[in-house]
């Protein structure tokens, strides 16, 4: 067919265009093909050209190209053709503005062609024609432009570096990520923006690129214009020259993973924290699947069940549980019933489950908590409540004891109040009795014989004793309730002792006893209530007189202790001494060792109790020791530095 189209014979090009095969080929391709001879007469015009220009072969064949398409006359095309004819080389022009206006104009933004002019050589070797291939690249060009746009605003940074490692191209995303203008980045070395922490890994990656390898997943940190660190994940590869395969540049794509890395770090942190918590908490924590197969356990679980996490993994929880945990032993129904409930999302709780081990029996609390969206996985929390149960028991006991102590205190207070009221009420009638008895003895009411008088006097003695007891009772209650505050003043203990001795001398002389004083010279003045301390000494001396036989010595010693922190007063007698079992009790109220003896000397057993109260109110101590070789030594201390309670 092509042969028929060639009207002009004798050009010697038959061998080129004559072949059936090439004709078919030329007709079917989407590229315009036409041939002109050295007079620019059109010799061939394929069907693409027909369609594209709307000019049929019959119209154009034999016509002069530049005459027929007169718009080409004033372009560079005649020259281009001439040069091909004259110099015999191939002429190529890409993305050229349209050579022919297409019949159907689809693009308002202009039409672009790739055009190639090939010289056609006659058998003699001279150029007698030019083959033109015309390709409409408008669509492709538009596409390229669009993809360029995609490139620019891709979600990843794209860059090209030359063989020196300098940036020659970066897309818009790179500009955004780095906060630097394109012109600022271009020409920079990659190492200029890398954070020092990533220099090593970047250098290693470059070595690989230099050797022609690709780099994938390089994680590095760069610093943006504002000095903030940006984490990048980079894939890069070398670009080689088409012909020489020599590496001419490098291209890369970088993703900002700062946010992702932050989240990853946080997740890592949370995971670590969770693991630390799981390790640290005393509760056993494990995850089981819907068949109760164990998937993870913590340390506390292993401790409680004397297992290791390796042993426990993959085993069934039922193997660890006490027999009959879910009901009767071997009753599968009960297990599945409970499991169904847990799978349905219900929390299952069992308290105080007895768990026997070689170390004894434990009490465990179980809680099964279904994990939503975890394919029936369940969190099991096991608390060892053995200690808690014990503590609870102790607490209950403690409350009971406290209640009893409170009751006792109440009774004690009531007793003190009673004594206080009773002693007040006793004083008035005692006064009356005393006065009437005196008058009776004086013979105011009747004649009194000497015998009458003696009897009345002995009644009066008993009344005086009664009055003394009332005073003592009141004193102890007042001391215990601390109703009476101490009237502190600095005193020499020697003066206080002397006053007491002065009062007691006649009593001692009645029993031919001697009171001897041994007071050290270096004792400073001590803060005390002198009347009350005198009372203490008097009570101790009185006891010594009462309980020691006749013709004995009573020694009162006063000095400082080793630390010079306390004043120490001792009352030493040569009496019968005090047995160990009584040594503490004698300082209690109403305590007497020998009742018959007490009756003899007259007293309620309150003297030492009062003394103890006074000494302790001063912040001191009182006790009794055995005398050497016999007798008793009553000792009390008073702090030199006042710390009165």
Partner 1 sequence: MPKIMIVEDAPFIVESFKEIITDQGWEVSCVATTGFEAIDLYKKNKPDAVLMDILLPGLDGLTAIKKIIEMDPKAKILVVSALAKKDLDKECLKAGAKGFIKKPFDTKTFVTNLKGILGAK
Q: Which is nearer to partner 1, 279 or 462 (CB)?
A: 462
Q: Is 488 in the site for partner 1 (CB under 8 A)?
A: no
Return the residue of 49, 286, 474, 568 that touches partner 1, per CB under 8 A.
474
Spatial distance between the Cα atoms of 614 and 476, rounded to a whole number of angstroms: 9
Number of residues lying near partner 1 (CB under 8 A) = 24
Sequential DSSP letters for 389-437:
HHHHHHHHHHHHHHHHHHHHHHHHHHHHHHHHHHHHHHHHHHHHHHHHH
CA distances from 53 to 30, 34, 109 (A): 13, 12, 18
CB of 507 to partner 1, least distance (A): 20
Task: Compare residues 404 and 425 and give the one whose CB is closer to partner 1.
Answer: 425
Q: Which is nearer to partner 1, 10 or 432 (CB)?
A: 432
Distance from the Cα of residue 160 to its chain's centroid: 47
Pattern 144-183, partner 1, x by CB under 8 A = ----------------------------------------
Q: Name the one range near partner 1 by CB under 8 A: 127-135, 291-299, 389-397, 478-486.
A: 478-486
Q: How far is the CB of 503 from partner 1 (least distance, A)?
A: 18
* Structure letter (DSSP) for residue 580: G
Closest CA to 487 of 595, 617, 386: 617
Return the range that interacts with partner 1 (CB under 8 A); candidates 159-167, 227-235, 298-306, 482-490.
482-490
Q: How far apart are the first and last CA of the chain?
A: 135
CB of 464 to partner 1, least distance (A): 8
> Cβ–Cβ contacts within 10 Å for residue 477, how many?
22
- Give the range of 19-27, 139-147, 463-471, 544-552 binding partner 1 by CB under 8 A: 463-471
CB of 504 to partner 1, least distance (A): 22
Query: 467 or 523, CB closer to partner 1?
Result: 467
Q: How far is the CB of 640 from partner 1 (least distance, A)?
A: 27
Q: C-beta of 609: minimal distance to partner 1 in Å?
A: 17
Tell me how far, at minimum, the Cβ of 528 lies from partner 1, in Å: 17
Q: How far is the CB of 532 from partner 1 (least distance, A)?
A: 12
The C-alpha atoms of residue 459 and residue 471 are separated, in whole angstroms, by 19
Nearer to partner 1, 436 or 590 (CB): 436
What are the φ/ψ torsions at residue 94 (nearest 5 degrees)?
A: -105, 150
| Rounded Cα distance, 181 and 317, in Å | 63
Are residues 12 and 44 in contact, defined by beta-carbon separation less than 8 angstroms?
no
Which single residue is written with the structure tokens 């202790």?
A: 561
Smaller CB distance to partner 1: residue 427 or 564?
A: 427
Token readout for 605 is 């057993």
Q: Which run of H or of E encompasses 216?
A: strand 215-223
Contact call for residues 618 and 486 (beta carbons, < 8 A): yes
Residue 506: exposure state from Cβ atoms within 10 A (0-12, 13-18, ≥19): exposed
Residues 403-442 that bind partner 1 (CB under 8 A): 423-425, 427-436, 438-439
Binder to partner 1 among 272, 484, 495, 509 (CB under 8 A)?
484
Region from 111-119, 150-158, 295-303, 477-485 binding partner 1, contact rule CB under 8 A = 477-485
Q: Which is nearer to partner 1, 125 or 429 (CB)?
A: 429
Angstrom distance (rounded) from CA 304 to CA 249: 64
Give min distance, CB of 419 to partner 1, in A. Answer: 12
Least Å from the CB of residue 478 to partner 1 = 8
Q: Which window, 92-100, 154-162, 338-346, 481-489, contacts partner 1 (CB under 8 A)?
A: 481-489
CB-nearer residue toward partner 1: 176 or 483: 483
Question: Nearest to residue 587, comparing CAs of 563, 564, 616, 561?
Answer: 616
Comparing CB distances to partner 1, the nearer of 128 and 532 is 532
Shortest distance (Å) from residue 508 CB to partner 1:
25
Q: Which stretch binds partner 1 (CB under 8 A): 201-209, 346-354, 467-475, 622-630?
A: 467-475
Q: Under DSSP, is residue 137 helix (H, G, I), strand (E, B) or coil?
A: coil
- Minimum Å distance from CB 469 to partner 1? 12
- Tell the residue number behind the tokens 């409970």, with chain if given: 338
In the set 7, 276, 417, 444, which binds partner 1 (CB under 8 A)?
444
Our CB check for partner 1 shows the closer of 543 and 609 to be 609
Dihedral sign from CA coordinates of 215, 217, 221, 223: positive
Comparing CB distances to partner 1, the nearer of 98 and 434 is: 434
User: Which tokens sit at 182?
Assistant: 């394109």
Closest-CA residue to 430 (of 383, 464, 454, 390): 464
For partner 1, the closer CB: 29 or 430: 430
Which of 29, 160, 459, 463: binder of partner 1 (CB under 8 A)?
463
Pairing of strands 215-223, 294-297: unpaired
**SS3 assignment, position 568:** strand
Q: Give the nearer residue to partner 1 in terms of CB position, either 208 or 478.
A: 478
Q: Which H or E run contains 117? A: strand 112-121
**Span of 86-94, 227-235, 476-484, 631-639 interacting with partner 1 by CB under 8 A:** 476-484
Rounded Cα gap, residues 571 and 550, in angstroms: 17
Beta-strand ranges (E) seen in 214-370 are: 215-223, 229-240, 247-256, 284-288, 294-297, 348-357, 360-370
Q: Which is nearer to partner 1, 460 or 560 (CB)?
A: 460
From the list 110, 74, 112, the residue with the least C-alpha distance to 96 is 112
Closest to partner 1 by CB, 93 or 467: 467
Closest separation in Å from C-beta 510 to partner 1: 22
In the complex, what is the shortest distance from the CB of residue 435 to partner 1, in angstroms, rounded to a whole number?
4
Which of these segments, 226-234, 479-487, 501-509, 510-518, binds partner 1 (CB under 8 A)? Answer: 479-487
Q: Nearer to partner 1 by C-beta: 431 or 512?
A: 431
- Say if CB 17 and CB 35 are below 8 A apart: yes
Within 8 A by CB and 6+ apart from 151, the residues are 158, 171
User: Residue 485, CB half-sphere, CA atoms under 13 Å: how many?
Assistant: 5
Among 452, 569, 459, 591, CA closest to 520? 569
Residues that bind partner 1 (CB under 8 A): 423-425, 427-436, 438-439, 444, 463, 467, 471, 474, 478, 483-485
């Amino acid at each position: 067919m092509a042969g028929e189209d060639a009207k002009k014979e004798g050009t010697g090009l038959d061998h080129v265009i004559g072949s059936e095969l090439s004709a078919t080929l030329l007709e079917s391709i989407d590229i315009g093909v036409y041939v002109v001879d050295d007079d620019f007469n059109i010799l061939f015009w394929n069907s693409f050209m027909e369609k594209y220009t709307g000019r049929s072969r019959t119209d154009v064949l034999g016509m002069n190209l530049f005459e027929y398409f007169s718009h080409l006359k004033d372009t560079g095309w005649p020259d281009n053709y001439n040069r091909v004819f004259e110099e015999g080389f191939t002429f190529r022009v890409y993305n050229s503005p349209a050579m022919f206006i297409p019949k159907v104009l689809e693009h308002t933004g202009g039409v672009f062609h790739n055009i190639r002019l090939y010289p056609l050589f006659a058998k003699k070797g001279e150029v007698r024609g030019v083959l033109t291939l015309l390709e409409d690249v408008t669509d492709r060009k538009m596409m390229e432009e669009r993809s360029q746009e995609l490139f620019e605003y891709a979600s990843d940074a794209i860059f090209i570096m030359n063989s020196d490692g300098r940036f020659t191209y970066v897309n818009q995303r790179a500009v955004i990520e780095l906060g630097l203008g394109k012109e600022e980045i271009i020409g920079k070395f990659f190492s200029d923006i890398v954070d020092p922490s990533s220099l090593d890994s970047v250098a290693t990656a470059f070595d690989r690129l230099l050797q022609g390898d690709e780099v994938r997943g390089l994680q590095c940190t760069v610093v943006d214009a504002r000095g903030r660190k940006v984490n990048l994940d980079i894939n890069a590869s070398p670009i080689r020259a088409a012909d020489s395969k020599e590496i001419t540049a490098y291209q890369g794509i970088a993703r900002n993973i700062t946010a992702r890395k932050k989240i990853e770090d946080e997740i890592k942190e949370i995971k670590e924290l969770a693991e630390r918590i799981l390790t640290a908490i005393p509760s056993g924590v494990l995850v089981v699947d819907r068949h109760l197969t164990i998937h993870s356990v913590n340390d506390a679980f292993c401790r409680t069940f004397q297992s290791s996490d390796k042993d426990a993994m993959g085993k069934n929880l039922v193997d660890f549980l006490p027999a009959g945990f879910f009901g009767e032993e071997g009753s599968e129904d009960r297990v599945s019933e409970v499991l169904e409930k847990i799978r349905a999302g219900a929390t299952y709780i069992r308290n105080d489950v007895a768990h026997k081990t070689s170390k004894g029996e434990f009490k465990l609390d179980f809680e099964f908590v279904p994990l939503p969206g975890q394919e029936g996985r369940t969190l099991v929390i096991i608390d060892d409540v053995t200690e808690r149960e014990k503590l609870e028991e102790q607490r209950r006991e403690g409350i009971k004891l406290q209640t009893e102590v409170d009751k006792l205190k109440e009774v004690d207070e009531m007793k003190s109040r009673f004594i206080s009221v009773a002693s007040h009420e006793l004083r008035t009638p005692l006064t009356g009795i005393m006065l009437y008895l005196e008058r009776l003895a004086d013979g105011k009411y009747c004649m009194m014989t000497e015998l009458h008088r003696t009897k009345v006097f002995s009644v009066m003695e008993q009344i005086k004793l009664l009055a003394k007891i009332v005073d003592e009772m009141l004193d102890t209650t007042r001391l215990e309730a601390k109703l009476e505050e101490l009237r502190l003043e600095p005193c020499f203990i020697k003066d206080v002792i002397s006053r007491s001795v002065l009062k007691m001398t006649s009593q001692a002389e009645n029993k031919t006893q001697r009171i001897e004083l041994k007071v050290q010279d270096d004792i400073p003045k001590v803060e005390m209530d002198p009347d009350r301390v005198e009372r203490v000494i008097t009570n101790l001396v009185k006891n010594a007189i009462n309980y020691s036989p006749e013709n004995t010595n009573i020694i009162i010693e006063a000095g400082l202790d080793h630390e010079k922190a306390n004043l120490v007063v001792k009352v030493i007698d040569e009496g019968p001494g005090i047995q160990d079992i009584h040594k503490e009790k004698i300082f209690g109220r109403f305590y007497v060792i020998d009742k018959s003896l007490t009756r003899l000397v007259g007293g309620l057993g309150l003297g030492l109790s009062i003394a103890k109260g006074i000494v302790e109110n001063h912040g001191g101590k009182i006790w009794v020791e055995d005398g050497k070789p016999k007798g008793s030594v009553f000792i009390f201390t008073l702090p030199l530095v006042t710390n009165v309670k």
